[in-house]
Amino acid sequence: MRILRDYILKEFSHAFLLSIVVFTFILLVGNIIKLADLVINKGVDILSVLKLFLFLVPWLLSFTLPVAALTAVILTFGRLSSDGELTAMKANGISLYRVAFPILMVGVIFSFASFFINDQISPNASYLSRKVVKEIGIRRPTAYLEEGTFIRGFENYVIFIYEIKGNKLKNIRIYQPQEGKPTRTIVAESGEINSIPEKNTIELRLFNGTSEEPSPTDAESFYKLNFMTYYMTLDLSKIFNKEKIQKKTREMTINELNQEISNFLSQKIDPTQLYVEIYKKINMAIACFILVLMGIPLGIKAHRSEKSIGFGISLLFFALYWGLFLVGVAVSLKGKVSLFSGVSLPVTPAVGVSLPNVIFFLLGAGLFVNTARR
C-alpha cells in the first residue's frame, strides 16, 4: 500500500503544481500589466512594485488553491480511470476508499494551509500593500493619478487629466466646486507635477492656460486670466493621511474581527458584516477538502486523461461553487431570503456563508459513495 500511496501522491503533486501555476498566472496577468505601467509610465521604483506583486500573491492563493486542488484530483483520477488502473486495483481487492484516503488527507492539509493563508497571511499582505501604495503616492503622486478619469480628494478640487507620462501632464482640467457659487475652472495645455514628501504636498505647475479668478468687486463672479505658467500646491493629507492606516474588514484576522465585534456590540452597532468575513475565511478554507472530495468521483466518471477536459470540468464546478458562495454571502449580509408571496426566512452568517460547503459536501459524499460501490 505504501508503493500505491506514493504513486498516487506523485501523480497528484505533478497535476497540482501544473494547475496552481496555470491558474495563478492567469489571475496575475491583468495585475502584471498594471504593475508594469507603474514602472514604465509612472516612474515607480521596481522595489515598490515587487512588494505590491508579492503582497498580491497570498490573496490570489485564496482562490487558486481550492480550484487547483480540484483540477489536480480530476486529472489524477481521470488518468487512473482511463488507463484501467482503478479497475485493476479493485480486482485486487483494493477499494476506492483506500485509494482515495491519501488524497483526502492532502485535502485536509490544504484546508488548514488555506485557513492560515486566509486568516493571517492574506489580510496582513493586503494591509501592507496599502501602506506601500501610500508611500508610492507620496513619493510619486502621478502613480495615484489616472488619466481619463475624474480624480477627487485633493482638498476641494476635482482634476481631469487627458494624458500622463511620468510627471508630465497634457490637457488638464481643474474644477473647484463652491457651495452656492459658480464652479471655478482652470484649464491648461500641459503641466508637470512634483512631490514634496516632507510637507505631504505636491506642486502642480501648469503651462499655457486660463484660470477663472474671483472678481475683486463681485465675489459671485469670475474673470478669465490667461497665463503662461501657473503654480498650485495640493495637500495630500486627505488622500495619504500621515496617521496610521486603518485596517479594512478583509484585512483583519479572526482575532481582530472578534475584538471589533465586541466593540460594535458595546456601541449597539450591527456586526453582521464582521461575522460574514469570519465565516468567509473559514469556509473558503474548508472548500479545499470539499472540492477534493467531489473531484475524485468527477475524475473517475470523466474517464479521460486529457488535461483540457480536467481543466474544463474543474472550472465549471468551481464557477458553480463560487456563484453559490457569493449568493450565500449576499443573503447573509441581507439577513434574510425571500421565498414566495412576501414570505421571508431569516438567515444568519453561519448558515448563509456555509450553505455552499454543505451542499457540495453532501453532493460530493453522495457521488463518492455511489462510485465506490460500483
- Domain carrying residue 94: 2-138+286-373
Report percent pLDDT > 90 for the chain: 26
Is 367 inside a domain boundary?
yes
Is 261 inside a domain boundary?
no
Is 280 inside a domain boundary?
no
Work out the pLDDT band at 283, boundaries 50, 70, 90.
very high
Query: Span 268-285, mean pLDDT?
Result: 89
Residue 108 has pLDDT above 90, yes or no: yes
Query: Span 342-354, mean pLDDT?
Result: 82
One domain, residues 189 and 95: no
Query: For position 141, what pLDDT does the model report?
Result: 59
Q: Is 227 helix (H, G, I), strand (E, B) or coil?
A: strand
One domain, residues 165 and 58: no
Is 358 inside a domain boundary?
yes
One domain, residues 151 and 205: yes
Is 240 inside a domain boundary?
no
Q: 175, 200, 235: which is the final residue of a domain? A: 235
Residue 167 has pLDDT above 80, yes or no: no
One domain, residues 149 and 130: no
CA-based angle 256:259:263, to the nearest 5? 135
Query: For position 20, what pLDDT does the model report?
Result: 92
pLDDT tens digits along 246-269: 777 888 899 999 998 998 888 777
Residue 197 has pLDDT above 50, yes or no: yes
**What DSSP string runs through 175-196?**
EEEETTEEEEEEEEEEEEEEEE
Q: Is 373 helix (H, G, I), strand (E, B) or coil?
A: helix
Query: Span 70-92, mean pLDDT?
Result: 85
One domain, residues 121 and 156: no
Q: 195, 211, 235: which is the final residue of a domain? A: 235
- What is the DSSP pairing of strand 157-165 with strand 150-154? antiparallel
One domain, residues 229 and 336: no
Query: For position 104, what pLDDT does the model report?
Result: 93
Task: Give me 16's grid cell.
Answer: 497540482
d(CA 288, CA 260): 28
d(CA 183, CA 222): 10
- Which of 166-180, 241-255, 271-285, 291-305 bottoms out in mean pLDDT, i.e. has the lowest? 241-255
Record the pTM: 0.73
Task: Give me 281's grid cell.
Answer: 475565511
Bridge partners for 344 per DSSP: 338
Q: Label residue 224 exposed, middle or buried (CB < 10 Å: 0-12, 13-18, 19+).
A: exposed
User: 54-93: b or e for each residue (b if 16 or more CB lie within 10 Å)?
Assistant: ebbbbbbbbbbbbbbbbbbbbbbbbbbbbeebbeebeeee
pLDDT tens digits along 40-60: 655 666 777 788 888 888 888
One domain, residues 12 and 130: yes
Sheet holding 157-165, edge to edge: 150-154, 157-165, 168-178, 181-196, 201-214, 222-235
pLDDT tens digits along 359-369: 999 999 999 99
| Domain count for the chain | 2
Residue 137 has pLDDT above 80, yes or no: no
Bridge partners for 222 per DSSP: 214
Strands of the chain (E only): list them: 150-154, 157-165, 168-178, 181-196, 201-214, 222-235, 336-338, 344-346
One domain, residues 94 and 21: yes
Query: Span 265-281, mean pLDDT?
Result: 86
CA-based angle 42:44:46, to the nearest 5? 135
Is 82 inside a domain boundary?
yes
Task: Give me 222's grid cell.
Answer: 469670475
Amino acid residing at 143: A
CA 40 vs. chain centroid, Å, equals 24
Q: Which of 180, 112, 171, 176 shows the shortest CA–CA distance to 147?
A: 171
Which residue is associated with the grid cell 479545499?
288
Mean of pLDDT over the chain: 82
Question: Would you tell me how many other CB atoms lie within 10 Å of the CB of residue 343?
Answer: 8
pLDDT tens digits along 28-40: 877 777 676 666 6
Contact 303, 83 (CB under 8 A): no
- What is the DSSP pairing of strand 222-235 with strand 336-338? unpaired
Residue 82 has pLDDT above 90, yes or no: no
**What DSSP string runs through 263-310?**
HHHHTT---HHHHHHHHHHHHHHHHHHHHHHHHHHHHHHHT---HHHH
One domain, residues 129 and 172: no
